[in-house]
Amino acid sequence: MIGEIKKFLRDDGIIRISRSIKELGIKIKELDRIYVAKTGESLCVGKLSEILELPEENIYMAMEASKSVESINEKIDEEGKELADTLKSDEDEQMKIVNKITVLELIKSLSSRDRKIIDLRYFKDKTQSQVARILGISQVHVSRIEKKILSDFRSMLLA
């Protein structure tokens, strides 16, 4: 499941471009290639709009979406920020999303008692002694249960 989530984020990214826009971009490139071969000139947006019977905004959007990046070091703003800078932050954000989903799935797989212990310890910031009093068990028992849960989580994540 984690692999599928990573694949989705890698292939589709945080911002998705619809299939119809991708297909329109491909169609525009093909029409332009044929037109250039015949006339030696490139089609303008107005002419593409007439041929495809679509608003110019759609043509611009498809052309922009189908542009390829020439360099990862390409400057993308006046401050000199590079595309590589934004990709790193997207990658970090994607890992945060994957990690959060993974942890939630692992927590769902726990028994209600174990889920309660993790909730109290890590989401409600209770000490082992406080958790023990709430559940009516010893602090040592809470410690052993918590240690086993975390060990199981580690094993599942490394598998």
Q: What is the pLDDT of residues 91-141, one digit of tens each?
A: 677 788 888 888 888 899 999 999 999 999 999 999 999 999 999 999 999
In the chain the domains, ranked by start, together with CATH numbers, are: 1-71 (1.10.10)
Report the b/e string of 113-151 with b at 16+ CB within 10 A: ebeebbebbeeeebebeebbeeeeeeeeebeebbeebee
Return the percentage of the chain with pLDDT > 90, whole number.
Answer: 35
pLDDT of 130? 96
Residues 65, 69, 73, 79, CA torsion sign? negative
At 149, list the tokens. 């849960």
- The answer, yes or no, to whether residue 10 has pLDDT greater than 90, is no
Diameter over CA atoms, the chain = 85
